[in-house]
Amino acid sequence: MKNPRVDHRPALLCSSGKTAQPDDHLRPAFTLVEMLLVIALMGLLAGTVVTMFQPSVTINLRSGARAVAGDLNYVRNLAVANNTAYTVTFSVADNSYSIQHTGTVGSDELPEHPFLTDGTNADGDPIQTADLDLLPFDQPGVNLVAVLVDGVAVTDVEFSELGETVGRTEDTIIWLRCGTGRARRYITVTIAAVTGLVTVGDITLTGPF
């Protein structure tokens, strides 16, 4: 009679206190196909995250909003300093806005400005224009989406000699946009009706429409 076969491999002690053989601890490994699938999914997710949170979108949008706010404050200061009215006219189609003296006193001539382009309107009056397509930073660009007062679209805002907005009891809200698809973001520039002071809002996912 043959002797029974004896397994001389050392037994291992499980956490439960029971003795387990080494074979009990073996686990099936990932196949090459499974590993490639996981890597592909991780790459897809990483690409989505980068698309949704492009740093240049938020940087450009804030920079554009500050540039617009700076120009509006400049026009308000002109009105107060010269004791006369000035108007900013917006063009969503051209992605620009222009400045013009509209008061009854003082000269229609506008002071030189390093970032505004001199020109004339259809009536031959002097104007200065700011083109958002020419802002000094790389793509994506900043776009003028809408100018609203109490939810109603307007095309201009006039500052009086006191710095307030003329004929307005509600704030004027300028909407700007930057980016495309999931990376698209919006920001507002608000002109207070009573004081004419300008503030830049927070970046949001949704726009005015």
Over the chain (209 residues), the average pLDDT of each successive run of 10 is: 53 51 57 72 56 74 97 98 97 98 94 94 95 91 98 98 97 97 96 98 96
Sign of CA dihedral 99, 129, 186, 150: positive
Global confidence as pTM: 0.75
Q: Report the distance separating Cα 161 and Cα 79, nearest Å.
A: 5
Provide the residue type at 200 as one letter: V
Please give the structure tokens belonging to residue 196. 């004419």
pLDDT of residue 101: 98
pLDDT of residue 45: 58
Provide the residue type at 67 as one letter: A
Q: Which domains does the chain have, with CATH numbers?
A: 52-200 (3.55.40.10)
Q: Report the SS3 class of residue 199.
A: strand
pLDDT of residue 10: 53
Beta strand residue intervals within 92-161, DSSP E: 96-101, 117-120, 126-131, 142-149, 152-153, 156-159
Q: Report the distance separating Cα 209 and Cα 90, nearest Å.
A: 18
